[in-house]
Structure 1
């Protein structure tokens, strides 16, 4: 098989496997295993950690946060170790898309924040840590998860530039734009002052 075809086949497999890993709806699985009901019928119906927290079970929310972040990080680390940095970015991006549009849930997924941060930490830990700190600082001040996510996503692109990881900027830009797209309802509620705060009921 020609080298170019072999490379395309490998990258195709990396993308598919990354997507399938990202598609695992850990929030739905964790809440079901812990007897908390169907997450899609609780609060906002979102499958992420913030909505899991609305069940009142902090352990389930932490588990969801770590697992959703971990699937992005695992996709990046495995692909990078086997096939190099380009494959790592492809796998991370595919895992992120998988979380947003999971095949297992008829492409109705989460908003991708934890997977975004996990992917960043694995691709370039300085950028990932800085974005996490931006999220945390915004959350402490405002107690609004969606606003924290939007600020962290917007900050990640210039952070990649400032911290000398320009090679990440195209992927980070695409992921940040998708986070804004998935948060368009939250943006409307933020504008009207009706967005719920962390730990509150929706």
Structure 2
């Protein structure tokens, strides 16, 4: 592994470690998203706690955390497998942020951003899948799990050479949602628009 590869992997992790949810919460004087609402420092929880504009800022920044390192690595000539590792490091930074006690979010937006350079066709299909499941069920977590689970299949038909790295990334995101899967099965998961209930609920361990 070359020094440039190690540099990009480290940079992706450090970029991913910047928790926009916590920074935006401080900027808008919102409750700490790691201890209020769902306990997840991500755009969905910020939507519940603070509304659309702060959530949009968090979503945009989290997407860019995945897109920028992968795009830079692509133009540096990295192989698809190495691009997948860069994407995973960005997501690991979001999940285990160096600057915030290694307690982060689910990395869905960051993973989406990392897949964005593959093409607008994949991005559009993933967004459509997420919206379909959100409007059908109301569960952001279920929509994310469904979209990311379909991403390797969609990638195979769009740019098959990226199927393996996307599969690696998808496995990480689904594994990160294991607690959400348990709550969905038990009927205890919070719906995306249930702001009041989420704000009162203590985060799950």
When normalised by structure 1's length, the TM-score is: 0.90
2:48 and 2:107 mapped to 1: Cα distance?
Answer: 18
How far residue 100 of structure 1 moved from its aligned partner, in angstroms, is 1.4
1:85 and 1:128 mapped to 2: Cα distance?
Answer: 21
Equivalent position SS for 2:50: coil
1:117 and 1:90 mapped to 2: Cα distance?
Answer: 14
Corresponding residue number in structure 2 for 1:132: 127
Corresponding residue number in structure 2 for 1:108: 103
Unaligned runs of 5+ in 1: 1-6
Correspondence 1:151 to 2:171: no
Correspondence 1:8-19 to 2 at 5 A: 8-19=2-13
Equivalent position SS for 1:198: coil
| 8 Å contact kept, 1:145–1:198 | yes
1:176 to 163, 170, 175: 170
Equivalent position SS for 2:161: helix
> CA offsets, 1:122-176, max 9 Å, x none?
233322221121111111111110000010011001111122x122222211221
Total equivalences in the alignment: 195
1:82 and 1:72 mapped to 2: Cα distance?
Answer: 16
Correspondence 1:79 to 2:73: yes
How far residue 77 of structure 1 moved from its aligned partner, in angstroms, is 1.6
1:111 and 1:97 mapped to 2: Cα distance?
Answer: 9
> CA offsets, 1:86-141, max 9 Å, x none?
45443322211211111112222111111111111123332222112111111111
Equivalent position SS for 2:12: helix
Corresponding residue number in structure 2 for 1:193: 187
Corresponding residue number in structure 1 for 2:56: 62
| 8 Å contact kept, 1:117–1:132 | no
2:20 to 26, 35, 41: 26
Equivalent position SS for 2:2: helix
Correspondence 1:92 to 2:91: no
| 8 Å contact kept, 2:25–2:32 | yes
| 8 Å contact kept, 2:108–2:173 | yes
| Greater RCO, 1 or 2 (C-alpha within 8 Å, sep 6+) | 2
How far residue 178 of structure 1 moved from its aligned partner, in angstroms, is 1.5
Provide the alpha-carbon RMSD of the alignment: 1.6
Corresponding residue number in structure 1 for 2:201: none
| 8 Å contact kept, 1:99–1:112 | yes
2:145 and 2:25 mapped to 1: Cα distance?
Answer: 26
Unaligned runs of 5+ in 2: 199-205
How far residue 31 of structure 1 moved from its aligned partner, in angstroms, is 0.8
| 8 Å contact kept, 1:100–1:108 | yes
